Structure 1
Amino acid sequence: MNRRKFLQAALITPVVVFAGVKTVAMARHYPLDELLTQLKRLPPDKLFSSGDWSVSMILQHLAQSIRYSRLGYPQAKSALFQYTAGAVALNVFTACGSMTHRLDEAIPGAPALIKAVPNDVAMAELIAEISQFIAWQGELAPHFAYGNLTKAQYYNAHYLHIQNHLSEISLG
């Protein structure tokens, strides 16, 4: 392969890969309403966490994330991050059908999670936030890491975020 063809391929390949991931991500839709139904069936007093956060703290964190998508996140990463690494990460997560991130990382600028909040209270808060989000007809706030998202993109992000954190919760 000559140098010119190599350089062309080197420049075009990332664009083609990103376009493919974006296309797959746009075709994916995750059922947040079905996840809400599953959460309503869980017995909060019989849930246990295998991670650094208690079940209550996990549920509070998830509720915060969903609330902030409607009302605004306390702090945001730079626009450069949101439009590059953030956008790529969300598209990859959505295309792959799973999200991975540090499960003990708080939302930047969010109030501290309170370990003493009972699981049933935290679960009720999460269920209320998901229900409000599903019914929300207003404008959505930019995500602190992913930037401006459509409601469908937020459905996917919230669904994948909840599923990622539920991986640390078990029924005991």
Structure 2
Amino acid sequence: MNRRSFLQLAIGAPIAVLLGGKVVAMARHYPLDELLTQLKRLPPAKLISQGQWNVSTVLQHLAQSIRYSRLGYPEAKTALFQYTAGSIAFNAFAATGSMHHALDQPIPGAPALINSVPNDVALAELVTELELFIAWQGDLAPHFAYGTLTKQQYYTAHYLHIQEHLTEISLS
């Protein structure tokens, strides 16, 4: 392999991988409305958490995330982070259909979650935020880590975020 071919491959391969991941990510469908229906059917009094947070704080965290996508996040990563690592992470999550992040990490700058909020109140807040988001016709705020997202991309982000946190919640 000559030097020119090597350089073309070294530059082209990562670009092809990133673009391929983005194409796969855009082709997947994440039915946030179906997830909303499932959440409405959950029996709040019977939910338990196997994670660091109790059920209520998990649900409050999810509601915060959805609310901030409409109204703006309190803090954001740098633009460089959003356009590089954040964008790559989002596209990887969307392409694979699963998100992986620390499940006890609050949203940067968000008010503290309140452990004593009853599960039914926290679940009602999450359901309300999802309904507001689905009906939202206005501009969306940039995600604190992923940057500017379309509404469909936010559907993906919220769907995957909720699904990941629900892995720590079960029925008693």
Using the size of structure 2 for normalisation, the TM-score is 0.99
What letter is aligned with 1:15? Answer: I
1:40-79 maps to which residues of 2 (within 5 A)?
40-79=40-79
For the residue of structure 2 that corresponds to 1:76, the secondary structure is: coil
1:129 equivalent in alignment to 2:132: no
The runs of 5 or more residues in structure 1 that have no matched partner are none
Query: Cα deviation per residue 1:68-123 (whole Å; 9 max; x = unaligned)?
Result: 00000000000000011101110010010010100000000000000000000000
1:69-148 maps to which residues of 2 (within 5 A)?
69-148=69-148
Question: How far apart in 2 are the matches of 1:89 and 1:168?
Answer: 22
For the residue of structure 2 that corresponds to 1:48, the secondary structure is: strand
For the residue of structure 2 that corresponds to 1:26, the secondary structure is: helix
Question: How far apart in 1 are the matches of 2:149 and 2:71?
Answer: 14
Question: How far apart in 1 are the matches of 2:32 and 2:106?
Answer: 22
1:38 equivalent in alignment to 2:55: no
**C-alpha displacement at 1:6, in angstroms?**
1.5
Number of equivalenced pairs:
172
What letter is aligned with 1:153? Answer: Q
**C-alpha displacement at 1:2, in angstroms?**
2.3
What letter is aligned with 1:115? Answer: N
Which residue in 2 is equivalent to 1:157?
A: 157
Which residue in 1 is equivalent to 2:22?
A: 22
**C-alpha displacement at 1:17, in angstroms?**
0.5
Question: How far apart in 1 are the matches of 2:71 and 2:29?
Answer: 23
Using the size of structure 1 for normalisation, the TM-score is 0.99
RMSD (CA atoms): 0.6
Q: Percent identity?
A: 74
What letter is aligned with 1:24? Answer: V
